[in-house]
Amino acid sequence: MKLDRIDIKILNELQKNGRITNVELAELVNLSPSPCLMRVKKLQEEGYILGYAGLINVAKLGQTLTVFTEITLKNHRQSDFARFLVAIEKIHSVVECHLVSGGYDYLVKFVTSGIEDYQQTMERLIDLDVGIDKYFSFVVLKTPIAKAQLPLTKLFAAS
């Protein structure tokens, strides 16, 4: 499925407000409601829309600690990467894991209840012997900017 500018606009609006009504969405993207709904359903079927979620203000729930961790593996065979990913996927405090280029292999984002929780998590991960050579931790002190939406209309200039 090739996306056009209206599809991009639909996706852009839905990421801003997943609870928007079809009538409101149609108005924002200059379509009538029926074709708009058909496009949304097609975008869902084709996997462009993965789901809908509520954005939670975690700070209201209690204190958390966010840590970015650079992880370097001992070996770089496909099986080493796979073994590491199987282990890291099971850790509930891992909210992002990125394979990156540069001086290390993975950048992992943890959200834990505190430094002790993070330390225990890393100790358990090391004890699993999943091929970690070294890791460096960066504790987040403050998050002045955190955007939930991507600038789709700027990233993807559809025809």
Residue 159 has pLDDT above 60, yes or no: no
Residue 158: predicted pLDDT: 54
The CA distance from 117 to 53, in Å, is 26
pLDDT of 18-49, one tens digit each?
Answer: 999 999 999 999 999 999 999 999 999 999 99
Residue 157 has pLDDT above 80, yes or no: no
CB 152 within 8 A of CB 11: yes
CB 84 within 8 A of CB 73: yes
Residue 92: predicted pLDDT: 97
State the chain's mean pLDDT as an integer: 95
Residue 1: predicted pLDDT: 81
Residue 108: predicted pLDDT: 98
Nearest to 3 by CA among 23, 16, 11, 19: 11
CB 72 within 8 A of CB 135: yes
Token pair of 104 as six digits: 């290390």
DSSP symbols for 31-78 = --HHHHHHHHHHHHHTTS-----PPP-HHHH---EEEEEEEEES--SH
In this prediction, what percent of the chain has a pLDDT beyond 70?
A: 99
Residue 15 has pLDDT above 80, yes or no: yes
Q: What is the pTM of this model?
A: 0.87
Residue 67: predicted pLDDT: 98
Kindly state the average pLDDT of the residues 121-125: 97
**Domain range list for the chain:** 5-54, 58-139
Domain 5-54, CATH class in plain words: mainly alpha
pLDDT of 41-79, one tens digit each?
Answer: 999 999 999 999 999 999 899 999 999 999 999 999 999
Cα distances (angstroms) measured from residue 65 to each of 9, 71, 140, 147: 35, 18, 7, 18
Q: Which CATH number fits domain 58-139: 3.30.70.920, 3.40.1010.20, 3.40.50.9100, 3.40.50.11540?
A: 3.30.70.920
pLDDT of 97-108, one tens digit each?
Answer: 999 999 999 999
The CA distance from 48 to 137, in Å, is 34
